[in-house]
Amino acid sequence: MATGALYGVEALVRWRHPERGLLGPAEFIATAEETGIIHQLGLQVLEVACAQSATWQARRPEVPVRMSVNLSARQLQHPELVATVADVLERTRADPGLLCLEVTETTVMEDLGAMGKVLDGLKELGITLAVDDFGTGYSSLRALQRLPFDIVKIDRSFVAGMHRSEQESAIVAAVISLSHALGKRTVAEGVELVEQVERLRGLGCDVGQGYHYARPKPPGELGYGL
């Protein structure tokens, strides 16, 4: 946010339904988790994202575009997750240093001990880890300190009202301050207005994402010479 430079992108899954058109994840992710096909779907998303990351890296090595990919609760519980991620990175030749895997705080809090081991395994691959939607669940400061997260993503519900509510702004300021004190970078989600950008920049937020910067688009339309 300090320079306005491109920091990275987030992979978003869509379903091109033959009758209903383009569907967002809210329409099918819950069903995918219930039926168990979330593992195959998640693997496909990860492979496509890593392959795209490797393409950008080869084309413009001087522009390190970080690729963020979301992991669901069911994916994190899979015993072969770490090995699967390692295999995908090897096959696509993507730089693990440019891959960020995001998990929600409520997911990791379901079984802190088990999730800690999984996250440690992923961290050993050299990838970045982010806790998503921070502030909406019931995580403790101890958990945030113990788990190997590099990035804290501030939920859009707080960002949306911070330019007109001192209480919302105070919450965002507290999360940024806490994250920095723990050595973690902060990403504000759902940034849509110039007023939000100015307030976040003033609070020292590291990165912003949202419609203010770009709407979802195919890789070929990203720009930045990629």
Highest mean pLDDT among 52-56, 57-61, 129-133, 164-168: 52-56
Q: Which residues contact 161 (CB under 8 A, 6 or more apart)?
A: 168
How much of the chain, in percent, has pLDDT values that exceed 70? 95
Buried b (16+ CB within 10 A) or exposed e, 3-20: eeebbbbbbebeeeeeee
- How many residues are present in the chain? 226
CATH of 8-221, one of 3.40.470.10, 3.40.50.720, 3.20.20.450, 3.40.640.10: 3.20.20.450
d(C-alpha 162, C-alpha 137), whole Å: 19
Domain limits, the chain = 8-221
Model confidence pLDDT, tens digit, residues 55-109: 999 998 998 999 999 998 888 888 999 999 999 999 999 999 999 999 987 777 7
Torsion sign (Cα): 54, 47, 149, 177: positive
Provide the whole-model pTM.
0.91
Task: Quote the longest CA-to-CA distance of the chain.
Answer: 50
Q: pLDDT class for 135, splitting at 50, 70, 90?
A: low
Owner of token pair 């997911």? 107
